[in-house]
Chains A and B, each alone.
Chain A
Amino acid sequence: AQKVTQAQTEISVVEKEDVTLDCVYETRDTTYYLFWYKQPPSGELVFLIRRNSFDEQNEISGRYSWNFQKSTSSFNFTITASQVVDSAVYFCALSESGGYNKLIFGAGTRLAVHP
């Protein structure tokens, strides 16, 4: 069975601090996909990144970076020099290959960035 754990329920930082959001997943599949979504206070779900299980290269996009480690089943998300606009709930999600590939979401981490 697939499962996503985001152990940090809430994180509070001051602007310009770096912050890392943890995500640990469980799956029996060898082929799977990992995602991060952002849910700002307005409520919509915004796609940030997708990673497949064969690509362990870390990715950087501006102030965002992702660290995928299969050995620890983790897919962590770091925001460098956080800004108030980064305040949101961040969800990590897992999709197994084959079938119709529903996304299973973690419980989310609420990030509050204070000026």
Chain B
Amino acid sequence: EPEVTQTPSHQVTQMGQEVILRCVPISNHLYFYWYRQILGQKVEFLVSFYNNEISEKSEIFDDQFSVERPDGSNFTLKIRSTKLEDSAMYFCASRDSSNSPLHFGNGTRLTVT
């Protein structure tokens, strides 16, 4: 069964550094999302992406965040200057139509020191 893949599984970075989290959504999917989960807390929506542009973003998704689909397969989340509070599990998700279930990747655990 096709799946969403995320790399790396764990990223450690120093405060102020830029990080890029990578995702390969399921190939025929059209809607892409990033969510984050601070340890032990709820899964929070960050951004949705459709037709090569951001369709919706949350308050969390400020100017430090950006997303890109640089080619036909990858979907990336960039954090320009990481803060300690950015430490979390970041999940990429995709779906083939607007109300089908979201398929999540296994997540990237980001640790900012």
Contacts and interface: CB of A to CB of B under 8 A. Distances in A.
A107 B37 CA distance: 10
Contacts, number: 61
A97 B42 contact: no
> Which interface class (under 10, 10 to 19, 20 to 34, 35 or more) fits B?
20 to 34
Contacts of B105: 44
Interface in A17-48: 33, 35, 37, 43-45, 47
Nearest to A95: B99
Contacts of A52: 99
Interface of A: 33, 35, 37, 43-45, 47, 50, 52, 91, 93, 95, 97-108
16 contacts: A35-B101, A43-B89, A43-B106, A43-B107, A44-B107, A50-B101, A91-B43, A97-B99, A98-B98, A99-B55, A101-B99, A102-B33, A103-B33, A104-B45, A105-B42, A106-B42
Interface of B: 31, 33, 41-45, 48, 50, 55-56, 89, 91, 93, 98-107, 109
